[in-house]
Amino acid sequence: MTVADRIAAFRAALEEWLRGLYHGMITHPAYEKIEKEAEDAEDAFMLACFPDAFGIPSPVSYYTAELLPYLENEFEAWERRLWDRETLIERKGQQYHF
């Protein structure tokens, strides 16, 4: 192995290590927060579209039922997540470390 090959291998290993360090220290916590906020926004949208799935009467259910074929995969996951999820206060309290 020549010196140039050793230097290239060392640079590649160092670059991979630094990328992992950056991801772990900087971007990863942000990803978790962004994913939680996106999930909350999606839950709010789905609840606004399909409140009758949880016994909340809605005058626009007739119109939002047309969206069901397009949101079929998300609907099952959303319904399962809403029934199994912690209370909203606990979930929002995690953001503020209560």
Distance (Å, whole) CA 68 – CA 71: 5
Residue 93's φ and ψ, nearest 5 degrees, are -65, -25
For residue 9, the SS3 value is helix
Q: What is the mean pLDDT of residues 25-51?
A: 82
Residue 98 has pLDDT above 60, yes or no: no
Of 14, 74, 83, 84, nearest in space to 49 by CA:
74
Across 3-98, the runs of DSSP E, i.e. the strands, are none
**Max CA separation in the chain (angstroms):** 75
Please count the structural domains in the chain. 1
Q: How much is the pTM?
A: 0.58
Confidence check: pLDDT of 45 > 60: yes
Domain span including residue 51: 3-96
pLDDT 10s digits, 3-12:
999 999 999 9
Cβ proximity of 75 and 68 under 8 Å: yes
